[in-house]
Copies of this chain bind each other. A is one copy, B any other.
């Protein structure tokens, strides 16, 4: 299935990726709505007009960045939330997985946290759409758990939302703790673990 594309399209994708990478780097200390087209091309080393060969606008590039940051994350969610193993082990594993992902993709995490409520509408909508997909996936996974017997659809949805938001909050906290000490990171992990545990307990007694 892997179609070997000509040296022409290969070069094009290469500079396209360079534009995305440069933009992501510049966005560590500003928001998308203040990112300039020339700023990005200058960082890559191409002419400003070359930008238009790949994106219609900065907002367009932003949407592409959203897909890059969240698109490849879906398989991870399924395997993590699924009801294998014990509860405590699952929680520990989930927190570890978040910490590792933040450590390996800090710029992506920062970008999503920043632009989720940012000033560029199409990007905001792209983030919301991806998060809605996540929520739905978590919901169907949660529904499989025997503990969810007798739960209404609305109850499942509110729990899934709670989990997704919790994941984002924890990611952001890990991100802030990245530049600090190892103890700080452990404290974040501890708090996140306890919060997930409390949610677990609430979940267990929901139908009382």
Footprint of B on A, CB under 8 Å? 27, 29-34, 110, 113-114, 116-119, 121, 154-155, 157-159, 161-162, 165, 169, 172, 190-191, 194-195, 198-206, 208
Question: In the assembly, what is the distance between CA of A199 and CA of B31, in Å?
Answer: 34
Question: In the assembly, what is the distance between CA of A190 and CA of B165, in Å?
Answer: 17
Q: Given known contacts A114-B118, A117-B113, A117-B114, is B191 in contact with A158 (CB within 8 Å)?
A: yes
Pull 20 A–B residue pairs with CB atoms less than 8 Å apart, ordered by A. Answer: A30-B33, A31-B32, A31-B119, A33-B33, A34-B34, A110-B117, A113-B117, A117-B117, A117-B172, A154-B191, A158-B191, A159-B198, A161-B191, A162-B195, A162-B198, A165-B165, A165-B169, A201-B202, A201-B206, A204-B205
State whether A200 touches B202 (Cβ < 8 A).
Answer: yes
Question: In the assembly, what is the distance between CA of A155 and CA of B205, in Å?
Answer: 19
- A contact patch SS: helix
Residue in B closest to A208 when the chains form the complex, CB atoms: B201
Question: In the assembly, what is the distance between CA of A165 and CA of B169, in Å?
Answer: 8
**Chain copies in the assembly?**
2
Residue in B closest to A205 when the chains form the complex, CB atoms: B201
Distance between A166 CB and nearest chain B CB, rounded to angstroms: 8
Question: In the assembly, what is the distance between CA of A113 and CA of B15, in Å?
Answer: 34
Residue in B closest to A152 when the chains form the complex, CB atoms: B194
Chain B residues with CB below 8 A from A114, complex form: 117-119
Chain B residues with CB below 8 A from A200, complex form: 202
Most B-side CB within 10 Å, residue of A114, A159, A161: A114
Chain B residues with CB below 8 A from A113, complex form: 117
Chain B residues with CB below 8 A from A110, complex form: 117
Most B-side CB within 10 Å, residue of A30, A117, A204, A206: A117
Known: A161-B191, A201-B202, A205-B205. 9 other contacts (CB 8 A): A29-B121, A31-B32, A118-B118, A161-B195, A198-B199, A198-B202, A201-B201, A202-B202, A202-B205
